[in-house]
Amino acid sequence: MAETFDISLDSLAGRSVAPGNGAAAHLSVASVASHLNGATFFLETFGCQMNDHDSEKVAGVLLSRGYRQVESPEAASLVLYNTCSIREKAAQKVFSRLGEYRTKQAAGQVIGVLGCVAQQEGEDIFERAPWVSLVCGSASYRKLPELLARVEAGNQRVTGLDTDTDETFETPVTRRDNPWRAYLTIIEGCDKACAYCVVPYTRGPERSRASDSVLKEVRELAELGYSEVQLLGQTVNSYADPSSRRRRFSELLLAVADVPGMRRVRFTTSHPRDFGADIVAALETQPRLCNHVHLPVQSGSTRVLRAMTRTYTRAEYLEKIAMLRGARRPIAITTDIIVGFPGETEEDFGETLSLLDEVRYDGMFSFKYSPRPNTPSLAMPDAISEEEKSRRLAILQKKQGEIQGERNAALVGTKFEILVSGKSRRENQWSGHSGCHKVVNFTSQRRELLGTYVQVLVTGAGHNSLVGQQVT
């Protein structure tokens, strides 16, 4: 059984501001622009990698305005929550955080709600939590400096809730949390309109960043010492270069991988509809493109996929899987699945289970369907009870756990290159990710491994991770 280690980057002292890393170089902007005496901020992020990366950009904007980041809300003059509303639980968390915080709020403190809940609830947040003075949706981040200026001037109810935009949020002052792997958003918003999903509503329409601008930032990241870049988008492979270059997504992948200094290029999340043979060909030919694809299926039943407006059938999805499995090098495949979509029958659920057997994913994120405001599925009949959703989720997760256990066990005796990103409290124990995105916990007698690439021989396997020992 694989052991799990404390691999939290937070445990690494100075991870975001250590001299000599990329984050520090960006931070130098802050001291120049400082104009707020002693202003501090606390920023908590909920949700996906795109939210994490949005927070890195928001932090950069604040630092460049002269704010200093602090570790607790109590110590901050500006408290910001970057929120997620993909499922009801995530949205509720924010309101309970705001409620908890109300009692502790110090005089003169400014509280702001950013991201998807801000977009979804809009000005109602001021009614539910009158101590909030800034509400800014994800599609309005480019206006953040202007909104902050109004907050700093003492305005009580400042909003940025525009979604009607063709602009992306680009800033030269991103403060990245990880010194080795950089997130980079290449497409914002979503046009896919899945029946259950709030994203098109909270993040606005799809808009891509010009490919030359992406490549310029990747070159800058390489110069700052980053060796892994993860290109982000809700549907990253729907990327449509707005510049006259008109690079396809697969061409952009290859161009990013060609940037000197970049050793690993990842991308997430891919939509099955836009996943073509050209992407597989790029992965086959360029080893710096990581051999892992996250391809959410959501359901194994064509009937449910149709109700979800996923724009592909089970058979069409399986054609994409066959393309990936037929590649000249092994490509790990992970997915997202929703159980208990309205009207999902036992037979439909059985088809999702059989899809797991057919694809044998390397990993899966699974969710109980959560009805969300403004989504078409809200009005659909035949809701599935919470109890039944929980039952299906448990069956699904048990099956996938067994598949992952078997797949991982088959890797014992193989070697992986690992980017070392964590050090355990236990002596000589380290962790990191393989190119195919497996978590590997391993032993090494060496002292300074963080941020380096090492070869690890896999000696054991669990459902969620591998164990091994360094061999070079």
Give, for 358, the enclosing helix (H) or strand (E): helix 346-359
Near ligand SF4 by CB under 6 A: residue from 15, 87, 176, 271: 271
Extract the tokens encoding 287.
């080893």
Binders of ligand SF4 in range 223-252 (CB under 6 A): 234-235
Give the number of residues in contact with ligand SF4, rule: CB under 6 A: 10
Surface-to-core class of residue 446, CB atoms within 10 Å of its CB (0-12 exposed, 13-18 middle, 19+ buried): exposed
Q: How far is the CB of 86 from ligand SF4 (least distance, A)?
A: 8
Per partner kind, with CB cut-offs from 5 to 8 A, the member of ligand SAM, ligand SF4, none near residue 126 is: none
Q: How far is the CB of 77 from ligand SF4 (least distance, A)?
A: 34
Question: What CA–CA distance (Å, rounded) separates 457 from 417?
Answer: 9
CA angle (205, 208, 213) in 5-degree steps: 150
- Pick 235 or 470: Cβ nearer ligand SAM: 235
Q: How far is the CB of 46 from ligand SF4 (least distance, A)?
A: 16
Q: How many CA atoms lie within 13 A of 14 on its CB side?
A: 7
Near ligand SAM by CB under 6 A: residue from 43, 48, 293, 456: 48
- Pick 159 or 268: Cβ nearer ligand SAM: 268
Near ligand SAM by CB under 6 A: residue from 275, 369, 416, 430: 369
Per partner kind, with CB cut-offs from 5 to 8 A, the member of ligand SAM, ligand SF4, none near residue 87 is: ligand SAM
Question: What CA–CA distance (Å, rounded) separates 81 from 68?
Answer: 16
Applying CB under 6 A, does 305 fall inside the site for ligand SF4? no
Per partner kind, with CB cut-offs from 5 to 8 A, the member of ligand SAM, ligand SF4, none near residue 200 is: ligand SF4
Near ligand SF4 by CB under 6 A: residue from 182, 194, 283, 449: 194
Residues in the chain: 472
Per partner kind, with CB cut-offs from 5 to 8 A, the member of ligand SAM, ligand SF4, none near residue 372 is: ligand SAM
Extract the tokens encoding 190.
């979503």
Question: What CA–CA distance (Å, rounded) separates 236 from 260?
Answer: 23
Applying CB under 6 A, does 295 fall inside the site for ligand SF4? no
Question: What CA–CA distance (Å, rounded) separates 353 from 358?
Answer: 9
Give, for 233, the enclosing helix (H) or strand (E): none
To the nearest 10°, report the CA torsion of 283, 404, 439, 189: 60
> For residue 334, which of 209, 438, 431 has the smallest C-alpha distance?
438
- Pick 116 or 418: Cβ nearer ligand SAM: 116
Applying CB under 6 A, does 271 fall inside the site for ligand SAM? yes
- Pick 162 or 336: Cβ nearer ligand SAM: 336
| AA letter at 391 | R
Applying CB under 6 A, does 388 fall inside the site for ligand SAM? no
| Bridge-based pairing state of the strands 264-268 and 228-232 | parallel
Any residues with CB less than 8 A from the CB of 386 and at least 6 apart, and which?
Answer: 368
Extract the tokens encoding 465.
């991770």
Residue bearing tokens 């991988």: 257
Applying CB under 6 A, does 321 fall inside the site for ligand SF4? no
| AA letter at 463 | H
- Pick 79 or 355: Cβ nearer ligand SF4: 355
Residue bearing tokens 């599609």: 139
Applying CB under 6 A, does 200 fall inside the site for ligand SF4? yes
Applying CB under 6 A, does 190 fall inside the site for ligand SF4? yes
Applying CB under 6 A, does 372 fall inside the site for ligand SAM? yes
Question: Could you tell me which stretch among 139-147, 148-156, 192-200, 349-357 binds ligand SAM (CB under 6 A)?
Answer: 192-200
Near ligand SAM by CB under 6 A: residue from 83, 269, 299, 429: 269
Q: How far is the CB of 36 from ligand SF4 (least distance, A)?
A: 36
Give, for 394, the enclosing helix (H) or strand (E): helix 386-409
Sites of contact with ligand SAM (CB under 6 A):
48, 86-87, 196-197, 199, 234-235, 269, 271, 296, 298, 336, 338, 367, 369-370, 372
